[in-house]
Amino acid sequence: MGAVSRDPYPEVPVPRPFPRARLRSTAAVFTTMSALAATSLGTGPSAAETDSAAPCALTRTDAHHSEGLDTWNTAYPRPARSLDAVMVFLSFPDSHPLTTPQELTADHFPATTRFFERASYGRFTLRPHSLRHWVQMPQPSTAYAIQRDWSPGRRAAYLRDALSVADPQVDFSRYDVVYFVADPDAPGVDSDATKVVNLTSPLRADGTDLRRIVTVFEQHPPDRLVLAHETGHVFDLPDLYHRPVDGKGDWDTHVGDWDLMGSQFGLAPDLFAWHKWKLGWLDPQQVRCVRDAGPTRLTLEPLAAGPGVPTTGT
pLDDT tens for each residue of 154-188: 999 999 999 999 999 999 999 999 999 999 999 99
User: Percent of the chain beyond pLDDT 70?
Assistant: 79
| Residue pLDDT, tens place only, 93-142 | 999 999 999 999 999 999 999 999 999 999 999 999 999 999 999 999 99
314, part of any domain: no
DSSP state of 96: -
Query: Would 216 be classed as within a structural domain?
Result: yes
pLDDT of res. 55: 82
What is the pTM (predicted TM-score) of this model? 0.82
pLDDT given for residue 143 in this prediction:
97
β strands within the chain, DSSP E? 82-91, 125-136, 177-182, 195-205, 208-216
Q: What is the domain extent for residue 6?
A: 1-15+24-37+80-283
Sign of the four-CA dihedral 156, 158, 159, 161: positive
The 125-136 sheet, strands edge to edge: 125-136, 82-91, 177-182, 208-216, 195-205
DSSP-derived secondary structure for 112-161: HHHHHHHHTTTS-EEEEEEEEEEEE-SS-GGGG---TT--HHHHHHHHHH
Average pLDDT (217-244) is 92
* CATH code for the domain in which residue 9 is found: 3.40.390
Give the integer Cα–Cα distance in Å for 175 and 84: 5
- Which of 30-44, 194-208, 280-294 is modeled with the greatest confidence? 194-208
Asked, for residue 70, whether it belongs to a domain, the answer is no
- The model's confidence at residue 190, banded by pLDDT at 50, 70 and 90, is very high
Q: Decide if 244 is inside a domain.
A: yes
Residue 279 CA to chain centroid, in angstroms? 12
pLDDT in tens, 55-96: 888 999 999 999 999 999 999 999 989 999 999 999 999 999
313 is a domain residue: no
Q: Is residue 115 part of a domain?
A: yes
Q: CB-based burial of residue 298 (10 Å sphere; 0-12 exposed, 13-18 middle, 19+ buried)?
A: middle
Asked if residue 226 lies in contact with residue 191, where contact means CB atoms within 8 angstroms, the answer is no
Residue 250 has pLDDT above 90, yes or no: no
How many domains are there within the chain?
1
| Domain assignment of residue 66, yes or no | no
Q: How far apart are CA 8 and CA 5, in angstroms?
A: 6
Residue 292 lies in a domain: no
The total number of residues written for the chain in this structure: 314
